[in-house]
Amino acid sequence: MKTRVGVIGATGYTGVELLRLLLLHPEVEVTALTSQKYAGTEIAEVFPSLARHLSLRCEELSIDRISEKVDFIFTAVPHKTAMEVVPFFYQKGKRVVDLSADFRFQDAKVYEQWYQKHTSPDLLKESVYGLPELHREKIREAKIVGNPGCYPTGALIGLIPLVKKGMISYENIVIDSKSGVSGAGRDVVLGSLFCEVNEGVKAYNIFKHRHLPEIEGELSALAQKRISVTFVPHLIPMDRGILTTIYVHFLKQVKTEEVLNTFYQCYEKEPFIRIHPKGRLPNTKDVRGSNYCDIGVVVNESDGRGVIVTAIDNLVKGASGEAVQNMNIMLGYPETLGLDVLPLFP
Amino acid sequence: MKTRVGVIGATGYTGVELLRLLLLHPEVEVTALTSQKYAGTEIAEVFPSLARHLSLRCEELSIDRISEKVDFIFTAVPHKTAMEVVPFFYQKGKRVVDLSADFRFQDAKVYEQWYQKHTSPDLLKESVYGLPELHREKIREAKIVGNPGCYPTGALIGLIPLVKKGMISYENIVIDSKSGVSGAGRDVVLGSLFCEVNEGVKAYNIFKHRHLPEIEGELSALAQKRISVTFVPHLIPMDRGILTTIYVHFLKQVKTEEVLNTFYQCYEKEPFIRIHPKGRLPNTKDVRGSNYCDIGVVVNESDGRGVIVTAIDNLVKGASGEAVQNMNIMLGYPETLGLDVLPLFP
Amino acid sequence: MKTRVGVIGATGYTGVELLRLLLLHPEVEVTALTSQKYAGTEIAEVFPSLARHLSLRCEELSIDRISEKVDFIFTAVPHKTAMEVVPFFYQKGKRVVDLSADFRFQDAKVYEQWYQKHTSPDLLKESVYGLPELHREKIREAKIVGNPGCYPTGALIGLIPLVKKGMISYENIVIDSKSGVSGAGRDVVLGSLFCEVNEGVKAYNIFKHRHLPEIEGELSALAQKRISVTFVPHLIPMDRGILTTIYVHFLKQVKTEEVLNTFYQCYEKEPFIRIHPKGRLPNTKDVRGSNYCDIGVVVNESDGRGVIVTAIDNLVKGASGEAVQNMNIMLGYPETLGLDVLPLFP
Amino acid sequence: MKTRVGVIGATGYTGVELLRLLLLHPEVEVTALTSQKYAGTEIAEVFPSLARHLSLRCEELSIDRISEKVDFIFTAVPHKTAMEVVPFFYQKGKRVVDLSADFRFQDAKVYEQWYQKHTSPDLLKESVYGLPELHREKIREAKIVGNPGCYPTGALIGLIPLVKKGMISYENIVIDSKSGVSGAGRDVVLGSLFCEVNEGVKAYNIFKHRHLPEIEGELSALAQKRISVTFVPHLIPMDRGILTTIYVHFLKQVKTEEVLNTFYQCYEKEPFIRIHPKGRLPNTKDVRGSNYCDIGVVVNESDGRGVIVTAIDNLVKGASGEAVQNMNIMLGYPETLGLDVLPLFP
C-alpha cells in the first residue's frame, strides 16, 4: 500500500516542485494539499503543468482532517507558519519534513537570533538537520526533519569532505553563491518582477543572510570548533540553479588530484553527488530538474589556495528533491526512488 | 529482455533529449551511440547532464557493427544524411524512427521540391508520417517512421479536429509559430549565439520554411482536397517550446464550447493532448520537458473567427518525445512508457 | 530658455523611460515628478540608473503647485486616473501628452465600450491621436495628445501605407503581436514575476484586448470605411520590444518591390521609420532603446498574400519616445531632438 | 573640424558598441571601418541597429589608405593581431587606443608569460594602461593607450581607494566576477550558443584567466609591493554587465561609513563613478548601456571583513566606453563627451 502524503503549502515553487517529484514516486500517493490562497481550487488550475497527473483540490489547513488522510507530511510554508503547524502533526504521530527554517537549528537561541522567538523549542531535539550527506543515520529515525536551505546545501556539500579531513584553514573561507530567481519564492514582490531581474545581477544581504548560521552551525559541529565564513548570495537572471564558488586555503601544499580523491572517497556511496574530473567544472544547467549536486575542484598547487565549485538545482537538491530524499530515508525506501529523473538539458 | 536501442547522431539537442527519455524508459536499453564529431568520447563528457545514467562512448557509424548491437534505431542526423543511412538499417531488418525530414513525405516529388533529390524514393512507401494522433495504426506496422517536424506537430494538432469535421474554411488559414532557440539545433552558427538571440524576436523564412509542405500535405490528405496555409515561424529568446497561434474561419456560427467539444471528442483517448477549458490558454512553460501538447480555443461567436493556440516542447512532443511515442507504438509498449515525466515548472 | 516639463506618474516603466529621454533632450528641463507611492523619495533612489542625471524628489500630485513649476505635462498614469488629472492641467493652459488610453478616442462611446465612463468627453475634441506618421499636422496644434498604445503603434505603421493606397483587402487582416514584459508595466502582479514569464510564451486577451478598437478606429478613419481586424497579443520573455506580424491579402498580384516602394514613398520623410530591403526582416533587438520602427515586407507573388513585420521598442516608439516626439512636434522643436540615441545592440 | 576616427575590427561586439558611442560624439566623425570578414559590406547590413546613423562600408585593412582617412585609431581586434597593426599606425603618427591586451603591460615579460611573444616590445614604453581613474595624466600624453580588460576595470575600481590608503591586507583578496555573455565576443563557438548559456551559470579559467596579471600588476604598482589576488570569472545568462564581488580584510576595525568616505574622496571628481550610500548595493541593470561604474560597500564592523561590489557594463566602461573616455582625455575633449547616455532601465 502506498504511503499517503500531504503537502502543507502546495502552491509556492517548492510546493509545485514537491508535487512534480512525488507524482513520479512509485510508493507514495498525494492525498492532501493545503493552500490559504487557493483553498477550494483544483491544483491543476493553479499549476496547469500538473494537469493529467493530479486531480485534487487545495484545502484550508485542518490538522484533524488532513491527519486522517495522510501518513506523512511535507510543510512548504514560510518559517514561523511552520512551527505553528508542525507540532500538531507531530502530536498526531505524523512524521514531517519541514522545508522552512523552523526546525533546522537544534539550538533555539541561534534560531531566535536570526529569525524570531521559537514557539516549540522542545521539539527541536526531535528534529534532525536534513542533509543526508551529513546526517543520514539520524534522519532515518527522525520524527521531524528540518530540510536544509538551498544555499547551505550547495555550500556544505562543497566543504564537508575538507572539514572532515581537516585539510583547510578555518579562517578566510569565502562562499560566493549565485542563485536563480525561484529561490526568492512565488511571493508577488517588486524585486521578483521579470523586468527588475532580467539582464541584471546583484548581491544582497551581505553578512546577514539567514542561511549563514545554518552553514556555520553545521560546519562548526563537524569540525568541533567554531567556524565563521564569509557568505554572499547573488541573484542572477534564470529560473533555477545555484552555483556556489568556495574559496579555501589548504593547510599544506596539495595537488588537485588529492583533493578530488578526498571528495571521491567521502561521497563514494552518495547517489546524488557527481564529481567532475580534473580540468572540468560544473554548470547549473547540467543539474536542472534533478537532485544532483555536481562538484568541481581547482587547486593552485604552488600556494595551497583552492576553489571548490558546486552546482545544484535550488528547487530540487536545494529544496523539494532533498525533501523527498529525506522522506525516502525516513520510510526505508531506496534513496533514489522518485528522484531518478535526469537533468533537463538544454 | 529489454529492447536494445541505437541513436545515430546522438550529440545534437534532439539526440541528448532522446537519451534523456530513453534512459527513463523501463523497457529499452541504449546500446549504441554514433557521432561524427565526438567519436571516441564518453557521452557524459559531451553532455555532463547524463553522468551516472549512461556510460557509453560515441562511435563512428558502422552499419554492421551497430546492427549487431541494437534492435531498434533512431536517426537524429540532418536530412540528406538520414536517407544515406536509413536504407542500410532497413536492409538489416531494423525498424527505424527517423527524426529528419527524409521520410516524412510519401511523394518524393514534394520532398525534392523543398529539399534535394531523394536517393531512396522506393523506401518512402515503407515509411509512415509519425504523428500518432493521425496515423497511429499505420505507425504500429511501419518499418520506417518519418518523425514530424516540430512546427508541423504544433500546427497539425491544432487543426486536425477542425479539418476532420470540416468546420473551417480552407482559405485564409494563418499559422503563426513562436519557437525557442533549441529548434535551430546545436550547430555553431552566428544566428544562434546568445547575444544575437537574447532580448530579441524575429520572423524568418516567411512563405518558404520547409515545414510548410509537411503541414499542407497532411492537412490536404485529411481533407481530401488541396489546402494551402500561410505559415510564419518566429524565433524567441528561450531554450524550448513552440507556441502556435492558428487563425481560422468557421463555416458557420459556432460557440467556443462546440469547438472545444470537437477537440475533446477527437482527442479523448490521446494520452498527450490536454485541452484547456474555455477562458484559459496554454503557455509553453506548462509543457516544458514533457510530451504534452496543450490546446486553447477562442471563438468570436458573432462572426465565426476562431483562434486555436497550441503549446509543445519542441524537443519533446516536437521531436524526441514523439519519436519515443512512435517507438512505443511500433513495439507494442504502452504509449506513455518512459514519457510520463511531468513538465518542469518553473 | 528651456521648456520646464513635469511627469505625472514617474515611477512606472514608461515614467523612467520618459525621464531617460527627457534628460537627453537639450531643450527641456524636468522640473516636477509625481508619484503616489514614492512621494518624498529622491527619484534616483527609486531608479538608481538615473543617479547623476536627475536630483529631484517625487511629490504628491497638486495641480496648482505643479502648474507653477512646469510648462508642459506628460501624464504616465493608468487610464481613468489620467482623465481625472488632465482636465485640470488643461484649464491651467498646459499642453499635455497623455500616455494612457483616456484621450486616444475622439468618440467617447468607443472609449466607454472598452474602458469605463469617460468623465471629460468634451475634452476629446481638443485631443489628437498622437501617431505622428498619421496626424503630425493636428498634433502640432493640439492641446492634448493621446499617445498611442504600444501595440497599435507597431500595427498601424505596418498598415498605413497599404490602406492609404487601398492595396489590400479589408477582410481577414490578422495582426499577431509579440511583446516584451515591460509592456505589462511595473505593477506587482503574479503574472509578471520572472519565474512565471521566463522560458515561456503565451497568447492573451484574444479578441478582447483594449488596443483593438484603437487599431480598428484609426484604420477605419483612414480607409473611410469600417475595418475589422483579428488581433492577438503575446507575451514573450524579454524586457522590451514588440514584433508585429501582419497578414494581408493584396487586391491584385504585386511584387515585393512594389509594396516596398509604397512603404518608401509613404515614409520617405519619417525620421523614425527604417525599411529593410527585400530579403531582410526586422528584429526587435535592432531597435532596442531607440525610437525606430523597423519594417520588413514579404509578398507571395503568385497569390497576393503578404506579410508585413514591424519591430519597435514598446517603451520608446511604443510609449515614451513617441511621447517625446509628440512634444517636439507640439513645441516646434526638430522632431528628433533628444531622440537621436542609437539602438543598444547587443 | 571634427576628428576623423577609424575603427580597426569594427564587426565584433566591442566594435559595434564603439560605433554606437562614437556616433553620439559631437566632435568626432567615423571615417573608416575595417573588417576581414565583412570587407565590402555596408556596416548597417552587418548591424541593422546602425542604419540611418552610419553609411560606410567595411574595408580590408590597409595602413596607408586608412591613415589618409583618419586622425585617430581604435583597434578592436584580437590580441596578437593588434600588435601586428598598431606599430604601423604609430609610425604614421596616429594616436591609438587599443582594446586588446597587447599594450596593457609595460613589461613584455609579463605579457609573454600569459599570451605569446611580443613583437613590438619597444612600443610598450610609449603605451599607457588606460584606466583613467589611475593614469589620467599619462593617458593625456600617450601615443598608445592599452585599454583595460573588462574584468580588471571592475576589480581595480573597487580596490584602488583601499590600496591607495593602505587600508587592507594584501593577503587573501578574493575577486569573484560575474559577466554577461557579450564578454566572450562575437566568435561563433559552441560555448556561446544561446542554449548552452541560457538558464545556466559556470565558473571558468580559475587561477588562470589572462586578466589576472593585469589586476595584480596594477595593484602591485599602486601598492609598491607585490600583490596576489584570487580571481574567478563566471559566465551568467545576460547580454551585458559585470558584477564584481571583492572580499577584503581591513587592517583595523573600520565602520562602513569610513570606507565609503574613502571611496567618495578618492573618486570625488570622477565623472563615471557612482557610489551607493550605506545599505544599498549596485546592480548591473542600473548601468547597462552607460559608462558608469556603480559601487557598494559593506563592512562587518566587528571583525574587519569587507565586501566591495562594483557593477559595470562590460561593453561600455569595460571596453568601448572606456576607450572613448581615453580618446577624450588624449584629445583634450571634456571627458564625458559622447558618453552622457543614460543607462537603459529596464
Residue range D335-344: mean pLDDT, rounded: 96
Query: Mind telling me how many Å the CA of D339 is from chain C's nearest CA?
Result: 11
Whether B194 sits inside 8 A of D190 (CB atoms) is no
| Contact residues, chain B, for A312 at CB < 8 Å | none
Q: Are A254 and A301 within 8 A, CB to CB?
A: yes
B183 by Cβ neighbours in 10 Å (0-12 / 13-18 / 19+) ranks as: buried
Query: Mind telling me how many Å the CA of A20 is from chain B's nearest CA?
Result: 6
Whether A345 sits inside 8 A of B47 (CB atoms) is yes
Question: What are B219's three cell numbers?
Answer: 492537412
User: Could you give the percent of chain D with pLDDT greater than 70?
Assistant: 100
- Among A181, A189, A190, the residue with its CB nearest the CB of C195 is A181
Q: Are C130 and C147 within 8 A, CB to CB?
A: yes
Q: Are D256 and D305 within 8 A, CB to CB?
A: no
Q: How far is A339 from A290, CA to CA, in rounded Å?
A: 7
Whether A198 sits inside 8 A of C181 (CB atoms) is yes
Query: Mind telling me how many Å the CA of C245 is from chain A's nearest CA?
Result: 24
Whether C345 sits inside 8 A of D199 (CB atoms) is no
> Given this model, what pLDDT does residue B57 score?
98
> Given this model, what pLDDT does residue A122 score?
95
Question: Residue C316 — pLDDT band, cuts 50, 70, 90?
Answer: very high
Question: Residue A190 — pLDDT band, cuts 50, 70, 90?
Answer: very high
Long-range CB contacts (within 8 A, 24+) of B15-19: B15/B76, B16/A345, B16/A346, B16/B47, B16/B49, B16/B50, B17/B315, B17/B316, B17/B319, B17/B320, B17/B321, B18/B74, B18/B76, B18/B99, B18/B320, B18/B323, B18/B324, B19/B43, B19/B47, B19/B50, B19/B54
CATH number of this structure's domain D3-149+317-331:
3.40.50.720
> Given this model, what pLDDT does residue C81 score?
96
Query: Mind telling me how many Å the CA of B196 is from chain C's nearest CA?
Result: 7
Is the interface score ipTM higher than 0.95? yes
Mutate to test the interface with D, among A168, A176, A192, A216 (most CBs of D within 10 A): A176
| Contact residues, chain C, for D51 at CB < 8 Å | 274, 286, 294
For C142, residues 6+ apart whose C-beta sits below 8 A from its C-beta are C95, C126, C127, C128, C130, C330
> Given this model, what pLDDT does residue A33 score?
98
Instruction: Using DSSP, state whether D42 is helix, strand or coil.
Output: strand
Q: Are B144 and B105 within 8 A, CB to CB?
A: no
For D68, residues 6+ apart whose C-beta sits below 8 A from its C-beta are none
Whether B238 sits inside 8 A of C199 (CB atoms) is yes
Q: How far is C145 from C143, CA to CA, in rounded Å?
A: 7
Q: Which residue of C has its CA nearest to D20?
A: C342
CA atoms A206, A208, A212, A217: torsion sign: positive
| D301-334 pLDDT tens trace | 999 999 999 999 999 999 999 999 999 999 999 9
> Which residues of chain B have a pLDDT value below 70?
none
List beta partners, residue B74: B7, B97
Interchain contact A304–D (C-beta under 8 A):
no
> Given this model, what pLDDT does residue D150 score?
98
Residue D241 has, within 13 A of its CA and on its CB side, a CA count of 28
- Which chain D residues in 73-132 lie under 8 Å from chain C, judged by CB atoms? none
> Given this model, what pLDDT does residue D25 score?
97
> Given this model, what pLDDT does residue D186 score?
97
Mutate to test the interface with B, among D181, D193, D202, D239 (most CBs of B within 10 A): D193
Residue range A135-142: mean pLDDT, rounded: 98
Query: Mind telling me how many Å the CA of A156 is from chain C's nearest CA?
Result: 26
Q: How far is A125 from A108, CA to CA, in rounded Å?
A: 10
> Given this model, what pLDDT does residue A70 score?
98
| Contact residues, chain B, for A341 at CB < 8 Å | 24, 341
Residues of B acting as catalytic residues? 150
> Given this model, what pLDDT does residue C20 score?
98
Q: Are D144 and D200 within 8 A, CB to CB?
A: no
Q: Residue C206 carries which side chain, given as an amino acid letter? A: I
E-strand ranges in chain A read 3-8, 28-34, 58-59, 72-75, 95-98, 127-129, 144-146, 173-179, 202-203, 229-235, 242-249, 273-275, 293-300, 305-312
Give the domain ranges of chain D. 3-149+317-331, 151-314
- What is the architecture, at CATH level 2, of domain B151-314? 2-Layer Sandwich (3.30)
Q: How far is D115 from D78, CA to CA, in rounded Å?
A: 12
Residue range C135-154: mean pLDDT, rounded: 98
Q: How far is A243 from A259, CA to CA, in rounded Å?
A: 19
E-strand ranges in C184-300 read 202-203, 229-235, 242-249, 273-275, 293-300
- DSSP conformation class of C57: B
Interchain contact A193–C (C-beta under 8 A):
yes
> Given this model, what pLDDT does residue B337 score?
97
Q: How far is B130 from B113, CA to CA, in rounded Å?
A: 21
Interchain contact D283–A (C-beta under 8 A):
yes
> Given this model, what pLDDT does residue C343 score?
98
- Among C49, C274, C287, the residue with its CB nearest the CB of D345 is C49
| C205-228 pLDDT tens trace | 999 999 999 999 999 999 999 999
Whether B283 sits inside 8 A of C236 (CB atoms) is no
- The residue among A215, C191, D154, A272 whose CA lies nearest residue B281 is C191
Chains with ≥3 CB–CB distances under 8 Å to C? A, B, D
Interchain contact C346–A (C-beta under 8 A):
no
Question: Residue D40 — pLDDT band, cuts 50, 70, 90?
Answer: very high
| B74-103 pLDDT tens trace | 999 999 999 999 999 999 999 999 999 999
> Given this model, what pLDDT does residue C188 score?
96
> Given this model, what pLDDT does residue C125 score?
94
Residue range A59-86: mean pLDDT, rounded: 97
Interchain contact B189–D (C-beta under 8 A):
yes
| B174-217 pLDDT tens trace | 999 999 999 999 999 999 999 999 999 999 999 999 999 999 99
Mean pLDDT over each residue of chain C, to the nearest integer: 97
What is the C-alpha R_g of chain D? 20
Q: Are D200 and A241 within 8 A, CB to CB?
A: yes
- Which chain B residues in 10-69 lie under 8 Å from chain D, judged by CB atoms? 13
Same fold, C3-149+317-331 and C151-314: no
- DSSP conformation class of C124: G
pTM of the model: 0.97
> Given this model, what pLDDT does residue A110 score?
97
| C51-67 pLDDT tens trace | 999 999 999 999 999 99
Instruction: Using DSSP, state whether B71 is helix, strand or coil.
Output: coil
Q: How far is B287 from B307, CA to CA, in rounded Å?
A: 20
> Given this model, what pLDDT does residue D123 score?
96
Whether D276 sits inside 8 A of C20 (CB atoms) is no
Instruction: Using DSSP, state whether D303 is helix, strand or coil.
Output: coil
Q: How far is D346 from D343, CA to CA, in rounded Å?
A: 9
| Contact residues, chain A, for B199 at CB < 8 Å | 199
DSSP notation for D127-195: EEE--HHHHHHHHHH-SEEEPPPHHHHHHHHHHHHHHHTT-B-SSSEEEEEEE-GGGG-S---GGGBHH
- The residue among B138, B158, B156 whose CA lies nearest residue B148 is B156
- Left if phi > 0, otherwise alpha if psi is -120 to 50, otherwise beta: which for B145? beta
Whether D344 sits inside 8 A of C283 (CB atoms) is no
Q: Are D154 and D310 within 8 A, CB to CB?
A: yes
Chains with ≥3 CB–CB distances under 8 Å to A? B, C, D
Interchain contact D240–C (C-beta under 8 A):
yes
Q: Which H or E run includes B95?
A: strand B95-98
End-to-end CA, chain D: 37
> Given this model, what pLDDT does residue B58 score?
98
C166 by Cβ neighbours in 10 Å (0-12 / 13-18 / 19+) ranks as: exposed
Q: Are C214 and B225 within 8 A, CB to CB?
A: no
Q: Which residue of C has its CA nearest to A192?
A: C193
Burial B290-327 (b: 16+ CB within 10 A, else e): bbbbbbbbbbbbeebbbbbbbbbbbbbbbbbbbbbbbb
Chains with ≥3 CB–CB distances under 8 Å to B? A, C, D
Interchain contact A270–B (C-beta under 8 A):
no
Residues of A acting as catalytic residues? 150
Query: Mind telling me how many Å the CA of B49 is from chain D's nearest CA?
Result: 12
> Given this model, what pLDDT does residue C22 score?
98
Question: Residue by residue, what is the 3-state secondary structure of A92-157?
Answer: CCCEEEECCCCCCCCCHHHHHHHCCCCCCHHHHHHEEECCHHHHHHHHHHCCEEECCCHHHHHHHH
Mutate to test the interface with D, among A174, A194, A201, A315 (most CBs of D within 10 A): A201
Instruction: Using DSSP, state whether C232 is helix, strand or coil.
Output: strand
Q: Are C237 and C198 within 8 A, CB to CB?
A: yes
Q: How far is D310 from D302, CA to CA, in rounded Å?
A: 23
Whether B49 sits inside 8 A of A285 (CB atoms) is yes
Active-site choice (D58, D150, D266, D293) = D150
CA distances (Å), origin B64, targets B67, C57, C280: 5, 78, 47
Whether A274 sits inside 8 A of B49 (CB atoms) is no
Q: How far is B176 from B154, CA to CA, in rounded Å?
A: 11
Q: Which residue of B has its CA nearest to C229?
A: B305
Residue range D104-118: mean pLDDT, rounded: 97
- Left if phi > 0, otherwise alpha if psi is -120 to 50, otherwise beta: which for C328? alpha
How are strands ordered across the β-sheet holding D293-300? D202-203, D229-235, D173-179, D242-249, D305-312, D293-300, D273-275
> Given this model, what pLDDT does residue D312 score?
98
Q: How far is C96 from C98, CA to CA, in rounded Å?
A: 6
